[in-house]
Amino acid sequence: MKKLTNNKWLNLFETENAGKPYFFCSRKKDPATDKKPDAVVIVAYKETDEGLKLIVTKEFRVAIGGYEFGFPAGLIDENENYSSTAIRELKEETGLDVKDVIYTSEQIFNSAGMTDESVVMVFVTVTGTVSNKNLEAGEFIHTYEWLQHEVSYVMGRGDLKFGAKAWFVMDHFARTGKMWV
């Protein structure tokens, strides 16, 4: 396996598959040996007097040339577990605090034809008030707390972009008003 680029967060690698060159992207220093998940995606629910709300983010993504609706997410630091990553990243990106960790998924691969990047989805309940005061420089994340009918409206528009993992959870919430787990 040969590393073709030398960037901080993502690199291109060349290997061989069935006797032919194969290229893929990785966040790992050594994708041949490091098989751990790269990041967490946080599916957060907030119980309110109005009803259950799903926490949704909207973030500009250069690769798709526009905004994508999804969930808070972040890279797992070395020696950090999934729950502590979720707690840290949720606070940084939304200002919200984790009340309970409900469920943690198995390792999920994002686009295995192009990258070995993988995530773990951490489902939580939250408290607090949305704030963007903890965003890193260059992060432009809008956070929404949506009731079932609001998620249903956004899902039905037809002109918006959604992350693949977020679409399934949002669709379930729009149809049922219930948590995924």
Any idea which residue has 């995606």 for tokens? Answer: 41
- Same domain for 60 and 127, yes or no, is yes
Which pTM does this prediction carry?
A: 0.93
> Maximum Cα–Cα distance for the chain, whole Å?
61
- b/e burial code for range 143-161 (CB count within 10 A of at least 16 → b): bbbbbbebbbebbeeeeee
Determine the structural domain holding residue 84 and report its residue range: 36-176
Count of structural domains, the chain? 2
- Same domain for 129 and 83, yes or no, is yes
pLDDT per position in the chain (181 positions), as tens? 999 999 998 999 999 999 999 999 999 999 999 999 999 999 999 999 999 999 999 999 989 999 999 999 999 998 999 999 999 999 999 999 999 999 999 999 989 999 999 999 999 999 999 999 998 888 889 999 999 999 999 999 999 999 999 999 999 999 999 998 8
